[in-house]
Structure 1
Amino acid sequence: MSLKERIKHVESCIQAACDRSGRKREDVNIVAVTKYVSLELTRSVLDEGIVHIGENRPQNAVPKWEALQGRGVWHFIGHLQSRKVKDVIGRFQYIHSLDRLSLALELEKRAAALDTTILAFLQVNVSGEESKQGITPEEATEFLKETASLTRVKIIGLMTMAPIVDDPEQARPVFRKLRELRDELNAQGLTKEPLTELSMGMSDDFEVAIEEGATWVRLGTLLVGKGEET
Structure 2
Amino acid sequence: MAFSQEVMRENVQNIREKMARAAREAGRKPEEILLCAASKVQSTETVALAQGLEIDLFGENRVQELCQKFDAGAYGSKPVHMIGHLQTNKVRQTVGRAAMIQSVDSLHLLQAIDAEARRQGLRQDILIEINIGGEESKSGIAPQQIWSMLENAAQCSGVAVRGLMAIPPVAEKKGQNRHYFALLRQLFVDISTKTYDNISMDFLSMGMSADYEDAILEGANIVRIGTAIFGRRY
Aligned to 2:39: 34
Structure 2 residue identity aligned to 1:88: T
Aligned to 1:215: 221
TM alignment of 1:1-230, pairs within 5 A: 2-68=7-73, 71=76, 72-227=78-233
| Superposed structure 1 runs of 4+ greater than 3 Å apart | 190-194
Alpha-carbon deviations, 1:21-50, whole Å to 9, x = none? Answer: 000011100110111211111001102242
For 1:51 and 1:4, locate their aligned partners in 2 and report how far apart those are by CA, in whole Å: 13
TM-score by length of 1: 0.94
CA RMSD of aligned residues (A): 1.6
**How far 1:227 moved relative to its partner?**
2.5
**How far 1:188 moved relative to its partner?**
3.1
For 2:111 and 2:149, locate their aligned partners in 1 and report how far apart those are by CA, in whole Å: 12
Structure 2 residue identity aligned to 1:56: N
**How far 1:216 moved relative to its partner?**
0.4
For 1:221 and 1:10, locate their aligned partners in 2 and report how far apart those are by CA, in whole Å: 11
For 2:87 and 2:198, locate their aligned partners in 1 and report how far apart those are by CA, in whole Å: 27
Alpha-carbon deviations, 1:38-90, whole Å to 9, x = none? Answer: 11110011022424111111122211111116622010001100000011011
Structure 2 residue identity aligned to 1:21: A
Structure 1 residue ranges without an equivalent (≥5): none
Which stretch of the first structure deviates more once superposed, 50-59 or 119-128?
A: 50-59
Structure 1 residue identity aligned to 2:90: K
Q: Do the aligned residues in 1 keep the contact of 2:35 with 2:225 (CA within 8 Å)?
A: yes
Structure 1 residue identity aligned to 2:48: R
Structure 2 residue identity aligned to 1:151: S
Which stretch of the first structure deviates more once superposed, 219-228 or 52-61?
A: 219-228
Local SS of the residue matching 1:128:
coil
Q: Do the aligned residues in 2 keep the contact of 1:34 with 1:53 (CA within 8 Å)?
A: yes
Alpha-carbon deviations, 1:142-201, whole Å to 9, x = none? Answer: 110111111121001011101111213110010000010011122233455531210000
Give the number of the structure with larger relative contact order, counting CA–CA contacts within 8 Å between residues 6 or more apart: 1
Q: Do the aligned residues in 1 keep the contact of 2:128 with 2:164 (CA within 8 Å)?
A: yes
Distance 1:192 1:108, change over 3 A: closer
Which stretch of the first structure deviates more once superposed, 156-165 or 48-57?
A: 48-57
